[in-house]
Amino acid sequence: MVIDTREHWRWPEVHWVNKELDWRAGGAITAGVDVGSISSKTAVMVDGKLYAYAILRTGASSPDSAVRATKKALEGTGLEIEKIHLTIGTGYGRINVPFAQKTLTEIACHARGANFVWGPTVRTVLDMGGQDCKAIQCDERGKVTSFLMNDKCAAGTGRGVEAFADLVKVPIEKIGEESFSIKEEPKPISNTCVIFAKSEALGLLRKGWDRNVVIASYLSAMAHRVYTLLERVGIAKDFVISGGIAKNPGVVRRLTTLTGIEPLAPNPQYDPQIVGAIGGALFAHAMLQKQKGAK
Amino acid sequence: MKAHYGYKDGSGEYFIVIDTDRCVQCSDGACVPACPLGLLERIQDDYDDTVCAVKEASRNKVKYACAPCKPVGAAAAPPCVAACARAGIRHTW
Amino acid sequence: MLSCGIDVGARTVKVVVLENGRIRGRAIRVAGLQVEDDVAAALKEAAAGEVRTIVATGSGREAVKEARQRPTGITCAARGIHFLLPEARMVIDVGAEEGRAIQCEGGRALNFAVNEKCAAGAGTFIETMSRTLEIAVDGFGPLALQSTKLVPMNAQCAVFAESEVVSLIHEKTPKQDIARAVCDAMAGRIGSMCRRLAITPPVALVGGVAKNTAFVRALENDLKTDLTIPPDAEYVSAIGAALIAAEEH
């Protein structure tokens, strides 16, 4: 018997340092620490330029995770947490960043970060994480003009896809591709609720439906759901997608059909998970400038 | 800013929408005491504006929490909506 | 002359056969893939003779081809509760996939509120949690009644609540306390739904969840009123449908 001991949920930790910058030569050093339910991220900036970042799995303690992610970001640079002039905490665990002087919501940080990563033409940001879904509209400065966040219901989150992947026994990273191995696009699953959608899907499988058609039907329902959320806040060009769902073409391509707007490609320079932390570091930089101006 | 507090689930969309551009002009925050369950609060938002918001702990239960203010067949606006002189708050359901 | 009411629910098919205003037969079957077969089997089990008129209700009522009428579950529950408990002025019906509260009088529905299409507001929520806790659904209520400690349940979604229950188990929270938290959370949601109507006693509770004693107690506390669970509580809508069938003669 072969026992599959692979852990599909384990993703590599990320650490990146900008070799072209020297923090010793710069003036303002700021950080954004984004403590999410799954991952903790720190972005460090020198004079408003991205200097280093790290992404780690969130542990049992949020303060510990915030410190670990920040130490990881600073690893090998000679820079220490104490030397950061201003730190902003964001994300689900934002109040648990021990060295942060201020906290901001992940909504504001995401919009600001997307403006930096993709440029000032970004108007709509969709972030679909493991346990939530955020739809944001922002202006050319990255200021939020409309937003919603859904973390009440698992439908339309990574957890919803996970639960479904488990039912059809397809690894989560393959489910998007599989959903296109079909002859004709089926109607979306009629239930939104993950629990009810699973029993609906099970019924279809028992009726003899092809597995990939059922997957397509489920992901199509997800795309419709996300579309209605985007519609509520308003959707305009340029449109960007961050979070785990960005890696699922089964949802992204169907969503593109519905919106008629092609999302901008991920910026290869930055990991899409770091957007919120970058936003935090940018807010910190702006605050520092304001304080200096006031003195 | 249009802040949508609430959620969408299988049964429908339940958002309390607060238009903070109107809210910021308000000095008293009349909607806050109008809510019999105390779901609303005055906060300083991410852009340092003083505005009203739905308390974080209540955001995921608005459908249920607001139910007594939305009796079946009622045509009148719920108390929070009625209290806002600037029409800065509305419910989507 | 036999008249028959069939309630095709999400989880079960219920059949009631009436003769001269009395229940002659009844049957309950788990709804499988071919609902038509389950309806036929239940009908065979319940009826001892030729059925004159059939009326179907419930979410799967379209599956009953021979039905003369297909009234809503609201209409049938109001009718059925009048037969079982004529003094009832409100009936709360919590089934597998739907919860509803109906204000009624003389067998007619005056007003109603519904929770549907979200597992958090229906019997499926408790069923899912019982699976996570590895407790039989029948044992869930009695176990929860042994609880001595209140533990908070924050998740408002059955999928997220599963994870919350798993972490409570890992923290070594006694199962009875978790079971109680599940019943309390569910009762809170059903109670809020009921408050969209005026709570008018006597209030009857029907549907599969009425068998869960801890849920019943939690809902009584939430609504601050006693609940009456009539005998044959799960057949209420089928009885209502059968009464409507009898009128067709």
Q: Taking CB atoms and an 8 Å limit, are C160 and A154 in contact across chains?
A: yes
Distance between A187 CA and the closest CA of chain C, angstroms: 18
DSSP bridge partners of A126: A135, A241
Q: Where are the domains of chain C?
A: 1-85+232-249, 87-229
pLDDT computed for residue A8 by the predictor? 46
How does pLDDT run across A136-177, given as a tens digit for each residue?
999 999 999 999 999 999 998 988 998 999 999 999 889 999
- What string of pLDDT tens digits covers the 93 residues of chain B? 999 999 999 999 999 999 999 999 998 899 999 999 999 999 999 999 999 999 999 999 999 999 999 999 888 999 999 999 999 999 999
Buried b / exposed e over C97-107, threshold 16 CB at 10 Å, is: bbbbbbbbeeb
Chain B contact set for A149 (CB, 8 A): 4
pLDDT computed for residue C248 by the predictor? 86
In this structure, what token pair is assigned to residue C103? Answer: 């204000």
Q: Taking CB atoms and an 8 Å limit, are B67 and C195 in contact across chains?
A: yes
Distance between B71 CA and the closest CA of chain A, angstroms: 23
Confidence of residue A60 (pLDDT cuts 50, 70, 90): confident
What are the structural domains of chain A? 14-113+272-294 (3.30.420.40), 123-259 (3.30.420.40)
Dihedral of the CA atoms A150, A153, A154, A156 (nearest 10)? -50
pLDDT computed for residue C147 by the predictor? 98
Q: Is A176 exposed, middle or buried (0-12, 13-18, 19+ CB in 10 A)?
A: buried
Sign of the torsion angle spanned by Cα atoms A228, A232, A238, A244: negative
Asked if the domains at C1-85+232-249 and C87-229 fall in one CATH topology, the answer is yes
Confidence of residue A11 (pLDDT cuts 50, 70, 90): low
DSSP state of C120: G
Interface predicted TM-score of the whole assembly (ipTM), two decimals = 0.94
Whether residue A89 is predicted with pLDDT greater than 90 in this model: the reply is yes
List the single residue in B9, B61, B67 with the smallest CB-CB distance to C196: B67
Show which subunits contact A, needing at least 3 CB pairs below 8 angstroms.
Answer: B, C
Whether residue A2 is predicted with pLDDT greater than 70 in this model: the reply is no
For chain C positions 108-147, those within 8 Å of chain B (CB to CB) are 111-113, 115-121
pLDDT computed for residue B63 by the predictor? 96
- The residue among A189, A126, A125 whose CA lies nearest residue A160 is A189
d(CA B29, CA B53): 10
| 3-state class (DSSP) for residue C184 | helix
Q: Taking CB atoms and an 8 Å limit, are C158 and A159 in contact across chains?
A: no
Domain spanning C87-229: CATH superfamily? ATPase, nucleotide binding domain (3.30.420.40)
Whether residue A280 is predicted with pLDDT greater than 90 in this model: the reply is yes
pLDDT computed for residue C1 by the predictor? 82
Chain A contact set for C158 (CB, 8 A): 154, 193-195
Q: How many interchain CB pairs under 8 A, A with B?
A: 58
d(CA C66, CA A253): 45
Distance between C240 CA and the closest CA of chain A, angstroms: 27
d(CA C69, CA C110): 21
Judged by average pLDDT, the poorest of A32-36, A56-60, A64-68 is: A56-60
Quick check: C10 contacting B, CB < 8 Å? no
Which of C157, C164, C170, C186 is best to mutate for the A interface (most A CBs within 10 A)? Answer: C157
Average pLDDT, chain B: 96
List the single residue in C117, C124, C159 with the smallest CB-CB distance to A154: C159
Please tell me whether the peptide bond between C202 and the residue prior to it is cis, using omega within 30 degrees of 0: yes
pLDDT computed for residue A128 by the predictor? 87
Confidence of residue A6 (pLDDT cuts 50, 70, 90): very low
How does pLDDT run across A177-211, given as a tens digit for each residue?
999 999 999 999 999 999 999 999 999 999 999 99
- What string of pLDDT tens digits covers the 249 residues of chain C? 899 999 999 889 999 999 999 999 999 999 988 889 999 999 999 987 889 999 999 999 999 999 999 999 999 999 999 999 999 999 999 999 999 999 999 999 999 999 999 999 999 999 999 999 999 999 999 999 999 999 999 999 999 999 999 999 999 999 999 999 999 999 999 999 999 999 999 999 999 999 999 999 999 999 999 999 999 999 999 999 999 999 987
- Residue B32 contacts residue B52 (beta carbons within 8 Å): yes
Q: Taking CB atoms and an 8 Å limit, are C116 and B61 in contact across chains?
A: no
Task: Say whether domain C1-85+232-249 belongs to CATH 3.30.420.40.
Answer: yes
CA A119 to the chain's CA centroid: 17
Q: Which residue has the tokens 């065979």?
A: C44
Chain C contact set for B64 (CB, 8 A): 188-189, 192-193
- The residue among C211, C131, C138, C143 whose CA lies nearest residue C177 is C143
Q: Note the pTM of the prediction, 2 decimals.
A: 0.93
Which of A196, A200, A206 is best to mutate for the C interface (most C CBs within 10 A)? Answer: A196
Query: H or E element: which one contains C82?
Result: helix C73-84
pLDDT computed for residue A10 by the predictor? 52
| 3-state class (DSSP) for residue C179 | helix
Residue C87 carries which side chain, given as an amino acid letter?
E
